[in-house]
Structure 1
């Protein structure tokens, strides 16, 4: 089941993150231990449409559509900025300081997202 939405080009990253989590049981357990939260992402594309995905690193260690069950932290940003963040071309702190990344919930948990995104970059580099 693909999580990609053609209206949101960067949503392909959720498939990459999901396959990174599914690739090895040890990596998944490590991500659960590091994350210990449900991360929700609300993206807005150039047409003004809004879509949500979540990364459950609290119980299942998987990615899904929608905000998930009681997200610990919700990150809202543009589809374009999310693409840059996942590819390593943008820094979450700089996006936040520039007002391009909105964080609701546990801000400290949001900092735990960086290693998971780096794993996705490593998997994407192998593709």
Structure 2
């Protein structure tokens, strides 16, 4: 998926890497961000939203009522953190206006989200917002 990153993506991710390193953020999370951007570039609009199940889901479950109740229910910690990020992020981190919505889509990008990856994105958004020039 990294081969699907554009030169512009690499420039933006380099800036994100430098910002993360200078501010003590996880560099592994920058690699994860790059991977997700590569996935978005590779699949684009053909990436299908998938069903989501709780982390501890028993895939041998056959009761349709239990399946329906559990399907597409992300943990509250994940959805509330994603909502917080959506409300405070300004701009697109240089990765395209459709990347943040892709990343925070519960049926695509958030499927693999963890508290650590969302904390990273939240801190990165705060740093990015601080660095943006303000209109005078």
Q: Does the alignment reach a TM-score above 0.5?
A: no
TM-score by length of 2: 0.35
- Higher RCO (CA-CA < 8 Å; seq separation 6+): 2
Tell which structure's C-alpha radius of gyration is larger: 2
The structure whose residues are more often strand, as a share, is 1
